[in-house]
Amino acid sequence: MEKKYPEYKQLNLSQVADEMLEVWKREKTFEQSIETRKGKEPYVFYEGPPSANGLPGIHHVMARTIKDIFCRYKTIAGFQVKRKAGWDTHGLPVELGVEKELGITKEDIGKKISVQQYNDACRKAVMRYTDVWNDLTEKMGYWVDMDDPYITYENKYIESVWNILSELYKKDFLYKGYTIQPYSPKAGTGLSTHELNQPGTYRDVKDTTIIAQFRVIQNERSNRLFENTKNEVFFLAWTTTPWTLPSNTALTVGKNIQYAEVETINQYTRKPISVILASDLVAKYFNADMEGKSASEYNGKGGVPWKKADEFSGADLVNAQYEQLLPYTLPMDNPEEAFRVIAGDFVTTVDGTGIVHTAPTFGADDARVAKVAGVPPMLVEGEGGQGIPLVDLQGRFIDQMGDLAGKYVKNEYYDAGKTPDMSVDVEIAIRLKEENRAFKVEKYVHNYPHCWRTDKPILYYPLDSWFVKTTAAKSKLIENNKKINWKPKSTGEGRFGNWLENLQDWNLSRSRYWGIPIPIWSNEDGTERIIIGSVEELKAEIKKAVDAGVMDNDPFADFEVGNMSKANYDTIDLHKHIVDDIVLVSESGQPMRRESDLIDVWFDSGSMPYAQWHYPFENKEVFEQNYPADFIAEGVDQTRGWFFTLHAIATLAYDSIAYKNVISNGLVLDKNGHKMSKRLGNAADPFETLKKYGADATRWYMITNAQPWDNLKFDLEGIVEIQRKFFRALHNTYSFFALYANVDGFKFEEDYIEVASRPEIDRWILSKLNSLVKTVSSSFDNYEPTQAGRLIQDFVVNDLSNWWVRLCRKRFWRGDYSEDKIAAYQTIYECLKTVAVLSSPIAPFYSDKLYRDLNSITANDAESVHISLIPEVNESLMDGELESRMELAQRASSLVLALRKKQNIRVRQPLGKILIPVSDETFKSKMEKVTDVILNEVNVKEIEFIDPNNELLVKQIKPNFSKLGRAYGKQMKALATLINGLSQEQIKAIEFKGELEVELEGQLITLTPEDVEIGSKDVPGWLVASEANVTVALDITITDDLKFEGLGRELVNRIQNLRKDSGLEVTDRINVKVAKNDIVQNAINYNLNYIRTETLSDNLDLVEGTLIENGVGVELEEGIDTIIKIEKV
């Protein structure tokens, strides 16, 4: 049997996807799409590693669709696109999952369970959902090389990361320092912002707050403050955490804030005082009624008497010194620099006093401004000589704190039943009141973070951490950012740009267990240090240590330096539980232990450009070819995550950018615009969605509905619509083609018919098609997939399916296998194939199916659409003129159809004539070229173009705003009214004489045809409609001939219905009997050949109705009945 184009009953996208997956597997299509591009220019893509510890969600389908689109697009654009998968395997979520599973907490590690057991559990857990992920990857049609992924816990990966760290260290970009971090004393661990943002961690609590009085020391720096008062002068500063007051070393003011000096009395001691606070806040603390009253008038109620004594700017206050408020201890370093006023940009007058109590050991802002100003933190010398804060890691005051020593800073930290009546905060408040140092003490409700594990309030606590000195490379980072093409631009300039402008050093340390250990070993007092940049280096150091006797043996004895095999690397493990046992020896012969921290997991993923290739130990060439990336894409939430870490590491370690183009996509919300969450049950299941609607429709919907960087309101109804509109239109178009191509045996064997000699309609769609290739390509090139998808969709639905196919149907089912028919086949074939190629990045399954089906007979092209190349744009076929006149035809047709509707004249009833007024020759010649198209579509015999000065026409005029506006400006409104009111004669004068003088607000002005738009509104006696610049008038007279012809068409229609109802094939020939009567007889005789051709009837007999057995009664039009019978020949 002869081969045919496959025909389908209906479209099932999900089934198509399954089928194509099989084919791809069998033919190794993905591998081929890379293999066949060997030697071509590479297009480098980096995969941001997901964590297989969690299940994938619908947003992953979104993110990966975007990645996939550009990789596929660049492949069919001729590039070679390798894409290596990756897995992010470290980090807190993994640890938490394991702890939950094992029923343990962090404190149990090292006690109930060894670090090794813990890490083994993590290693197993982290790849828990790998299968699910691989399944999703496959089902959604995401092409990424999953056979050889990079995995961040592998020794080779870690070794590369160590190498980067050692590079940074050598460039002096690593340092150890204190930083204030959220810390949970009861859990004994620092918390990440991620942990702090868990729901329920911020709670309203009622705390004792104090406005403390810091006594100003009078000297040359502060004389200005004493000019207008005799009282003792105090700075007022508010705190919600009185326990930090002993650690105060500075007060911070805003340079541009105005401060007032107020003479008053202390409400607790009644002593006269002068206090300094922000002018804006005076009214908040001092009652207007008491202004200017004397101290004796104070009765303990209604506020204290007061009087403004002076005003200063913040700058005036800077550097003034004050007495230490609670002199338990002095800072160990530079105490002379402490206890003075400094400036900070974060100070506001929203609450407090406009002067901020600054304790650099317990506040991040505090630490920052203090460091800038050279104010020391309140650290005292600990046992090893190192600085320690006044509060220990359990949350208790240290021994040096006298009466406070050993007390917890928060009552919540005491074990149940042991809580003292008075909290430290209250004790301090009482003491300050007694010492005339408390201006105001009150309870205050505020929002404060709590540890989500212990439920206790957290502390901001200084922890020893390793930092990457990103601030040192700030300008370089900003400069490099300008080389990156961000989509959308605003994320790069705004969110990311601002982030870089306000850059802080990157805190690398995490006191965790499952992660990449910091490869730094130090001696006891931290004076000697070594950083390890490779296993080779480590082994060399171990050997020294063993030789020196600080270590017994080499745990990596089996490892063979220089052997890059997996087996060799499997003999070692670079995780904490192993490397912590390694003790190295310093140059002076002291033992050195590893710094106990792990590094931030973000550093893991930011190292992937290098570590995925085990660079620089292996694959140097591969790395160089694949760096930097041409393209990456992830969610906006990665702006400060992966996007930043890639950028920072590239800039710091290699002075380069890591990626050239980046798309940061928005979130996938539910259909009401709410965040999806499993808890709320509004999260869409990706597998269910893909199964039910198919990956193609899901992908197409996600991409075309909203720009990738806008949030997507994910609505399943939307996918259904995409299926119905786009895929079904495309599929129907193909089915239509396949049906007739099979009948006629079209195999694209004939010579290519020159486009120039094809009919107007074909040249039109091919012009549109070439424009499409061009615009879609440039959309993809500009990383605008939404635009690309919408363009394709418009073309398929509007141009190809609803216009070209509609107008060309007859060409397929009628007549011989003529030149015209072949042209039609070649045209539609080319359109379909090109659409398949263009849409393949977005809808990889259906497009390949379509492409293969088209190829199944002609077999003249690449095996898969994903290996094919985008057809070259043939500029010579693009004809704007042609496209615009087809628009005119569409408009004219639509007008005629509207007129028919108005008169209830069905389209099958032919009509005689339409009139179209043509104002100029170009318009006329455009119209003439599409006359056939219009006549065909609207079933009218003839178009007559009439002169615009034809008396029949009633003119319509509109001002040309953009032209006149520029010339007449203010008078535009009056002019518009005037023009709209012009008479028919005046309009014609403009049109034919070329000008008209009118009076505008007492002034004579001349209107020319360019100043206005003139159209025809009406042709008296005709049915007229107009839209934009097209007007049509329809002659609705139905002559006898037209009537018979119309009936003939009705008859054809009825016969066709019967054919269809009888289940005949489109190619079956038939014999027809029709019951005789006068009108029907005329109609048939008049149209005999036409009817027979259309219906494929060998015989068409008129017989007496009584002679027809089993005929079917039909009504041709109202009052005209007959009986028809058809038989297959």
Of residues 355 through 384, those in contact with RNA by CB under 7 A are 356-357, 363-365
Q: Does 735 bind RNA (CB under 7 A)?
A: yes
Q: Does 241 bind RNA (CB under 7 A)?
A: yes
Which of the following is catalytic: 50, 68, 84, 88?
Answer: 88
Q: Which of 715, 863, 928, 1035 binds RNA (CB under 7 A)?
A: 715
Q: Does 976 bind RNA (CB under 7 A)?
A: yes
Nearer to RNA, 146 or 676 (CB): 676
| CA separation for the pair 291, 164 (Å, rounded) | 66
Nearer to RNA, 774 or 1069 (CB): 1069
Q: How far is the CB of 708 from RNA (least distance, A)?
A: 10
Q: Does 253 bind RNA (CB under 7 A)?
A: no
Q: Is 1110 exposed, middle or buried (0-12, 13-18, 19+ CB in 10 A)?
A: exposed
The tokens of 123 are what? 């290693």
Give the 3-state secondary structure percentages of the chain, helix then strand then coil, rounded to 5. 45, 20, 35
| CA separation for the pair 474, 840 (Å, rounded) | 42
Q: Does 1128 bind RNA (CB under 7 A)?
A: no
Q: Which of 809, 856, 951, 1039 binds RNA (CB under 7 A)?
A: 809
Residues 662-691, one symbol each (x = binds RNA by CB under 7 A, - = not), give: ----xx-x-x-xxx----------------
Point out which residues pair with 178 in neighbouring strands: 464
Nearer to RNA, 629 or 1096 (CB): 1096
Q: Closest Cα to residue 270, out of 238, 230, 305, 308?
A: 305
Active site residue 625: no
Nearer to RNA, 119 or 939 (CB): 939
Q: How far is the CB of 897 from RNA (least distance, A)?
A: 5
Q: Please, what is the end-to-end C-alpha distance for the chain in angstroms?
A: 23
Give the long-range contacts of residues 651-655, CB within 8 A, separation 24 or more.
651/473, 651/476, 651/477, 651/480, 652/168, 652/171, 652/173, 652/468, 652/470, 652/473, 653/164, 653/167, 653/168, 653/171, 655/476
Q: Closest Cα to residue 776, out of 113, 69, 26?
A: 69
Q: Which listed range, 17-25, 614-622, 773-781, 1060-1068, lies at the site for RNA (CB under 7 A)?
A: 1060-1068
85 three-state secondary structure: strand
Q: How far is the CB of 996 from RNA (least distance, A)?
A: 19
Q: Does 1001 bind RNA (CB under 7 A)?
A: no
Q: Does 785 bind RNA (CB under 7 A)?
A: no
Q: Does 1026 bind RNA (CB under 7 A)?
A: no
Nearer to RNA, 729 or 996 (CB): 729
Q: Which of 41, 124, 175, 202 binds RNA (CB under 7 A)?
A: 202
Is there a cis peptide before residue 609, judged by omega within 30 degrees of 0? Answer: no
Q: Which of 456, 495, 529, 774 binds RNA (CB under 7 A)?
A: 495
Q: Which of 170, 476, 1060, 1128 binds RNA (CB under 7 A)?
A: 1060
Q: Closest Cα to residue 822, out of 872, 759, 882?
A: 759
Q: Does 733 bind RNA (CB under 7 A)?
A: yes
> Which amino acid belongs to residue 264?
T
Active site residue 602: yes
Q: How far is the CB of 658 from RNA (least distance, A)?
A: 20
Q: How many residues bind RNA (CB under 7 A)?
A: 97
Q: How many CB atoms lie within 10 A of CB 900?
A: 20
Q: Does 1086 bind RNA (CB under 7 A)?
A: no
Q: Which listed range, 27-35, 349-357, 685-693, 987-995, lies at the site for RNA (CB under 7 A)?
A: 349-357
Q: Which of 108, 345, 351, 547 binds RNA (CB under 7 A)?
A: 351
Q: Does 507 bind RNA (CB under 7 A)?
A: no
Q: Closest Cα to residue 176, out of 477, 576, 596?
A: 596
3-state secondary structure 797-862: HHHHHHHHHHHHHHHHHCCCCCHHHHHHHHHHHHHHHHHHHHHCCCCHHHHHHHHHHHHHHHCCCC
Q: Does 1065 bind RNA (CB under 7 A)?
A: yes
Q: Closest Cα to residue 837, out of 803, 877, 804, 872?
A: 872
Which of the following is catalytic: 24, 162, 306, 602?
Answer: 602
Active site residue 539: no
Point out which residues pair with 234 in neighbouring strands: 215, 275
Which of the following is catalytic: 181, 213, 638, 723?
Answer: 638
| CA separation for the pair 166, 1067 (Å, rounded) | 78
Q: Which listed range, 72-80, 447-455, 910-918, 1032-1040, lies at the site for RNA (CB under 7 A)?
A: 447-455
Active site residue 660: no
Q: How far is the CB of 131 from RNA (least distance, A)?
A: 28
Residues 220-239, one symbol each (x = binds RNA by CB under 7 A, - = not), give: -----------------xxx
Question: What's the Cα-to-Cα distance from 294 to each of 148, 236, 273, 299, 924, rounded to whole Å?
Answer: 84, 22, 13, 11, 98
Q: How far is the CB of 1065 from RNA (least distance, A)?
A: 6
Active site residue 620: no
Q: Does 423 bind RNA (CB under 7 A)?
A: no
Nearer to RNA, 520 or 761 (CB): 761
Of residues 866 through 905, those in contact with RNA by CB under 7 A are 894, 897-898, 901, 904
Q: Does 452 bind RNA (CB under 7 A)?
A: no
Q: How far is the CB of 906 from RNA (least distance, A)?
A: 4
| CA separation for the pair 293, 304 (Å, rounded) | 9
Q: Are 517 and 579 in contact (CB under 8 A)?
A: yes
Q: Closest Cα to residue 984, out of 1022, 1028, 945, 948?
A: 948
Of residues 261 through 280, those in contact with RNA by CB under 7 A are none
Nearer to RNA, 248 or 868 (CB): 248
Of residues 583 through 642, those in contact with RNA by CB under 7 A are 636-637, 639-640
Which of the following is catalytic: 24, 49, 182, 804?
Answer: 49
Q: Are 468 and 174 in contact (CB under 8 A)?
A: yes
Active site residue 49: yes
Q: What are phi and psi of 269, to 5 degrees?
A: -105, -10
| CA separation for the pair 1092, 1056 (Å, rounded) | 11
Q: How far is the CB of 875 from RNA (least distance, A)?
A: 23
Q: Which of 460, 506, 613, 845 binds RNA (CB under 7 A)?
A: 460
| CA separation for the pair 972, 592 (Å, rounded) | 86
Instruction: Provide DSSP, 951-981.
Output: TTPEEEEEE-HHHHHHHHGGGHHHHHHHHHT
Which of the following is catalytic: 162, 243, 486, 642?
Answer: 642
Q: How far is the CB of 56 from RNA (least distance, A)?
A: 18
Of residues 151 through 180, those in contact with RNA by CB under 7 A are none
| CA separation for the pair 729, 660 (Å, rounded) | 37
Nearer to RNA, 579 or 792 (CB): 792
Residues 929-968, one symbol each (x = binds RNA by CB under 7 A, - = not), give: --------------------------------xx--xx--
| CA separation for the pair 1102, 1099 (Å, rounded) | 10
Q: How far is the CB of 49 from RNA (least distance, A)?
A: 18
| CA separation for the pair 44, 629 (Å, rounded) | 5
Q: How far is the CB of 631 from RNA (least distance, A)?
A: 21
The tokens of 513 are what? 């267990």
Q: Does 821 bind RNA (CB under 7 A)?
A: no
Q: How far is the CB of 844 from RNA (least distance, A)?
A: 22
Residue with tokens 């940009």: 345
Active site residue 504: no
Q: Closest Cα to residue 66, out of 723, 673, 694, 842?
A: 842
Which positions are catalytic? 49, 88, 602, 638, 642, 675, 678
